[in-house]
Amino acid sequence: MRVFTNAEEINEAPKPVYDFIETLLKQCELEDEDAYAKDAFNSIFGGAFYLVENEEDLKSIYTSTESNLPPDEQEEICGGWASIVEKADVFDTCEHILDGTYVQILLCTNNEGGNTFIIPRGIADKCDNIRRSIMLTKEAWQNNEGH
């Protein structure tokens, strides 16, 4: 999995992912140097951007549900929470982006936001819990709009 923690690092991202993150940065109306500072995305977005590169990387996408796996089988990044491979869940954002070629998953864990996982569609489609999470998240947010 590739990790992007500031604007300089996204130069190594595939063009559509670079454009997506660059658009988010422009919406924040930051000074250029703010986005290039070490670990800048932690203060801007509340976490890093993670680009999933294979099915194994999916085990690092954590949910808000505790894992039922023995501790030695859990991914360290998940911190005791179930991974998307283990369970579907409702996220702050879980949707297709970039004309459906990627899936974005965001679980806010602090006031700024949280880590954002970007998954190529070909990998996302191999995990039924991602499809289910997209539906659960959409339903949850639609039901929340009237409140």
φ and ψ of 93, to 5 deg: -145, 130
Q: pLDDT for 36-52, tens place per residue? A: 888 899 999 999 999 99
DSSP state, 118? E
Question: Per the structure block, which two tokens stand in for 11?
Answer: 């130069």
Q: pLDDT for 75-84, tens place per residue? A: 888 889 999 9
pLDDT at residue 28, as a whole number: 86
Give the predicted TM-score (pTM) of the model: 0.91
Alpha-helix residue ranges (DSSP H) falling in 28-86? 32-36, 40-45
Tokens 């670990």 found at: 39
Per DSSP bridges, beta strands 116-120 and 2-4 are: unpaired
Question: Per the structure block, which two tokens stand in for 36?
Answer: 């290039």
More confident residue, 58 or 36: 58
